[in-house]
Amino acid sequence: IWETVCNNPEWEQSLISLFSFAAWCNIGYIDWEPWIARIFTRILKNLSLPVGNIELAKRTQNYSIPVVATWIVAMIGNNSSCLQYLRDLLTAIKTFYHPSNTGEFQTELISFLSILSQTFVDRVYFERASHSLWYFNPPESHRLRNEEIDEFVNCLKECAFISIFNKNHLDLAAETCHYLSQLRPQLIVPPLVELLFSSIDNMIEPHRFTSIIGCLAGMPRQIVRQTPDFSQGQTFVLPLLISVLPGIDANDFKKTSITFQFLNAILMLITCVDCSSAVHTRNDLSEIEKEVCLSTTKFEDFISELLNRIFQMTDALTTEMSDAILITNESKTEDQQIGLELASTISSIVQQCSKPIFRMVREKITNFLATYTYSPKISKLLTGLIHALLKSNPVETLKYLLPQTYERIEKILSQSDTLILNDHKGDPELTWCLILFSELLCARGDTLVIYKSMIFSIFHRCIHIIHKDSHEAMAKAAKNLLKSLSYVYPIDYRLTVENIEEPFIDFLPIRAWGQHVVYDKIQCKFHIPNEEEVDFACEFVEKFIYLELKILNEKCTTMCNHERFRSLTLIHHIALGCLRMVPRIESKEVKDLVSSISSYDSKFQAQYSVYAKEPKFKENLRMRLLIDIGNLLDHLIGYHSDDASSIKTALKIYSLSSMYYGTFEQSINKSCNGLNNLKFLYKNKLCGTQQNPRFVVIQLIAIQAELFSMSNFRTLTDIDQQVIIKLFELSIHRYSEVRRQAQTYLFTMLSRFFFSYQVILDRIVELLNKPDEVDHDKIKGCLYLILGNDSIFLPSKHSWVILEKLWPSIASMKHAMKLSTQNLINCIMEKMYRRYNTVAIIEDTNEISRQAAINLWHSLDSDELELRKGMHDERNQTNICSYTNLIEKLTSLFYSDTLTCRQQIMTMTFILFLLQKQLPIPLSCIRTIVDFLIHENIDIRK
């Protein structure tokens, strides 16, 4: 059939997918040789490449690139001519990969290379995996040989190298090189390194440097790790690190960012130690190892030059011209990204370098900080350097920085009068010292205890400062201090736990470069709060948070907006730091949200907070915040509605009391994304599964511990219900800013506590169904709550009782007269199309499944089983009744003469969502549908 069709019909796509799938699942069992020539001819034709300057018209969609790539890879093997045809194909289209040949076709061409190499890696992995797969078992004669792998890599690499310089598709080209380097690093890494060296002094095409660095950043493990097939890569490490330093350029954000990405990717996998003495003390070194050991003498010069360039960059960015530039959101994002990359790079160096190199780094950074002039644009870059030092050696870093910072703050305050604390313009030097102080408090908790008197002194003197940057620095310092003292966190992210100092008799650091960790030898170290730390944290909280609450309670009416915002900001940050230590408020659980034999929450909570002694406060701080901040919110909204900043912060504190236990879901998701990127960067499945570097495994452990703590306290209590009700009332408030903020925290609450959305449902339905005039802001707030966010969407909940109440109210709402509310309803309906899945009316499970559940749980007596059966039958009857009532309500709306044409179409849509085979369609519904076949509105007829 396929041979006889040449006009590329739409159904050919399905045929190609069948061929591809059959080829992949039956490698070696289908002889494709008679058709290979025709297959590649069709593939070339289907790429629709331009002829001269003429773009070929696409009559139908091109073949799917993943499908074609899978088909080609499956046909390789057993001396097949497929590789030769692939080479001929790439030779024919090679010129189209050149960056000058721009067009839509380049996306597919470069994707073709990327997916082809990825699929080839998958096939090699499946064929050489230690465990066989039932769906992938080609005969030995048709499995890939080393010569075929070499030929495949050589076939693709030329086009891949050309694609690197295509600025629109660099990511895809780098991904291709990433997979090819896993197959044969000796064929990919040396040519790319040569290309980099030749591009450094190329004044005509400076972009080549950036493109090659971006590509090499995707294969760091292949460069630094010794393998039997390729140990030469380590000889490139120091020359590469030194050669990319000119990429740190304050005038070119993209080049600087990619340079830091490359440096970070390499430095995370190596130890910065001078191993040259090993040449004289060991007799088991290969020639390449001797060369690498001798090259490590350049580490100190490289790191010194790296720091000099970083300092030059910061000096350039702190000039008057740089600070005079308007700071846009884009520039803030760029600065933040470079700051994170810079901090990670320095952290990688100081955590796994020798003691002399660490001292050199610490001296250069502290000397620079001593002469630094505060600039908001650059302060985050420098605080990243401090954080890196603290992560590696907090004892020595605090010894050289905290007392000096304390003295500078005392000197500034003693030389000026108290007006400096009340000056809204602030003092730049004092602001910088306070920012530096807040970063130093990120050090490990036990190292901070000895500086307790200094820390308290600075807080007592500066906690009431008005200047915005300064009081935010003090608030951040409070949060950092409490987290450092009271949290459990890993304290060692090194590549190896071995001693990397001289002499190198028992361990040679270069042999650990890029190597994975054995899980039994990971030796993960955690910070566990001791008694002094717990006492320090409790004393700090009771000394400062109650003082601020007292000020707000007594002087809220007379305080200016700046003072109120300062006080609330400090309370918010203290709460973020200490609430992990504060137990949940004891309150009665809200029952009967959903009928169930077993509790839908576990009586066993994941115990993450581990302390040498139990923290003790004079009262439950959550309850105190709930009462005081709740009252403050009412006062602010009633009498200070112009103070939007204070209202936002008060809302944050109020919601924390019920749902915050040390971490946020968003921060965990962000950490998971970062970890996934790291795993992809360093993963090479051809070397074996679960062969991750040590720091990756430790990050995974830390994230899992956070995820355990997030699963605690998911059942709804009376206190939680009270918070949800208050947040709901604020979510429909007349001020839009209050509504937006309250809705954000309400959605978080609803997604955390099981079935908590039932608390607000009746109130929403009541407002939507009100016959008389309703405040437009309340209706708008209700519609935004119905629209929800990514985690919660009420109209698609799997509950017929809820759907019975909500859907008719949305369809027949009489208050959607303004364009904004009509647009909201349209958004709700669009989301319904995407998110709604048919809800089962009769929920049933067979006897085998029920017995399996009983066996997994515990032995159930006959009374419990009878009770379960009664609940099951009752729920099914309720579902049937709600389903029938819902259809009856929706159909009756059509005959009430109150619906607009838009509402009639919406109601018809709801009815179509309801039709299913479990129950017969009610006659009223059938009659309505028949009536609308002859309706005057063409949209309804359709």
Q: What is the DSSP string of 328-370?
A: -HHHHHHHHHHHHHHHHHHHHHHHTB-HHHHHHHHHHHHHHHH
pLDDT of residue 871: 84
User: ∠ at Cα 904 (900, 906), nearest 5°?
Assistant: 115
Average pLDDT over residues 721-748: 93
Per-residue DSSP letters for 224-235? H---SS--GGGG
Bigger pLDDT: 448 or 331?
Answer: 448
For residue 38, pLDDT beyond 50? yes
Average pLDDT over residues 175-183: 95
Nearest to 66 by CA among 19, 17, 135, 106: 17
For residue 57, pLDDT beyond 70? no
Q: Classify strands 489-490 and 526-527 as parallel, antiparallel or unpaired.
A: antiparallel
pLDDT of residue 461: 92
Rounded to a whole number, what is the distance in angstroms from the first to the last CA of the chain?
A: 38
Burial of residue 258, with CB atoms counted within 10 A of its CB: 0-12 exposed, 13-18 middle, 19 or more buried? buried
User: ∠ at Cα 20 (16, 24), nearest 5°?
Assistant: 170
pLDDT of residue 58: 57
> Which of 15-24, 410-419, 922-931 is predicted least confidently?
410-419
Distance CA(810)–CA(806), nearest Å, equals 6
pLDDT of residue 641: 85
Tell me the β-bridge partners of 133.
136
Token output for 156: 């693709």
- Residues near 870 by Cβ (< 8 Å), separated by ≥ 6? none
Amino acid at 453: S
For residue 324, pLDDT beyond 50? no
Distance CA(97)–CA(47), nearest Å, equals 13
Give the pLDDT band of residue 60 (cuts 50, 70, 90). low
> Which of 282-286, 839-843, 859-863 is predicted least confidently?
859-863
pLDDT of residue 609: 54
Nearest to 92 by CA among 149, 169, 159: 159
For residue 117, pLDDT beyond 60? yes
CB atoms within 10 A of CB 811: 22
Average pLDDT of the chain, as a whole number: 88
pLDDT of residue 321: 41
- Residues near 860 by Cβ (< 8 Å), separated by ≥ 6? 854, 868
Q: What is the DSSP letter of 600?
A: S
Contact 119, 76 (CB under 8 A): no
Burial of residue 25, with CB atoms counted within 10 A of its CB: 0-12 exposed, 13-18 middle, 19 or more buried? middle
User: What's the predicted TM-score (pTM) here?
Assistant: 0.89
**Total residue length of the chain:** 942
Q: Which uninterrupted H or E stretch holds 852? A: helix 847-856
Distance CA(914)–CA(245), nearest Å, equals 64
Distance CA(492)–CA(394), nearest Å, equals 12
For residue 417, pLDDT beyond 70? no
Q: In a 3-state reduction of DSSP, which class is residue 717? A: strand
Distance CA(791)–CA(803), nearest Å, equals 18
Contact 394, 450 (CB under 8 A): no
Distance CA(298)–CA(295), nearest Å, equals 6
Token output for 435: 């920012």
Bigger pLDDT: 289 or 690?
Answer: 289
Give the pLDDT band of residue 55 (cuts 50, 70, 90). low
With left for phi above 0 and alpha for psi between -120 and 50, is residue 691 left, alpha or beta? beta
For residue 323, pLDDT beyond 50? no
> Which of 373-387, 390-404, 486-500 is predicted least confidently?
373-387
Per-residue DSSP letters for 53-67? TBPPP-SSPPPPHHH
pLDDT of residue 236: 95
> Considering the chain, what percentage of its residues have pLDDT values greater than 70?
94
Q: For 372-406, give the secondary structure using H, E and C.
A: CCCCCCCHHHHHHHHHHHHHHCHHHHHHHHHHHHH
> Which of 220-224, 500-504, 534-538, 727-731 is predicted least confidently?
500-504
Burial of residue 491, with CB atoms counted within 10 A of its CB: 0-12 exposed, 13-18 middle, 19 or more buried? middle
Contact 632, 646 (CB under 8 A): no
Distance CA(208)–CA(196), nearest Å, equals 8
For residue 322, pLDDT beyond 50? no
pLDDT of residue 320: 45
